[in-house]
Amino acid sequence: MTHIQLDLNGYTDLPDGKVATVVTHLEMLEKPALKLIDRPDLMLERAWEVDSAAYRSLFKRVGEPWLWFGRLLMSDEELEATLSKPTIEFYRAMKEGEPVGMLELDVAGKDEVTLNYFGLVPEVVGGGAGRWLMNHAISKAFSRPEVKRFWLHTCTGDSPHALQFYLRSGFKPFRRSIEVTDDPRLNELLDRSCAPHIPLLP
pLDDT tens per residue across span 129-151: 999 999 999 999 999 999 999 99
pLDDT for the residue numbered 188: 87
Which residues in the chain land under pLDDT 50? none
Percentage of the chain exceeding pLDDT 70: 99
For residue 137, give Cα distances in angstroms to 119, 140, 153, 196: 11, 5, 14, 29
The pTM of the full predicted model, rounded to 2 decimals, is 0.93
Q: How do strand 98-106 and strand 112-120 relate by DSSP bridges?
A: antiparallel
Bridge partners, residue 18, by sequence: 182
DSSP H or E run through 153 = strand 149-155
Output the CA–CA distances (angstroms, integers) from residue 130 to 72, 91, 93, in the order listed: 24, 14, 10
Rg, Å, the chain Cα set: 18
Measure the CA–CA gap between 177 and 182, rounded to whole angstroms.
17
3-state SS class at 196: coil
Strand partners, 22: 178
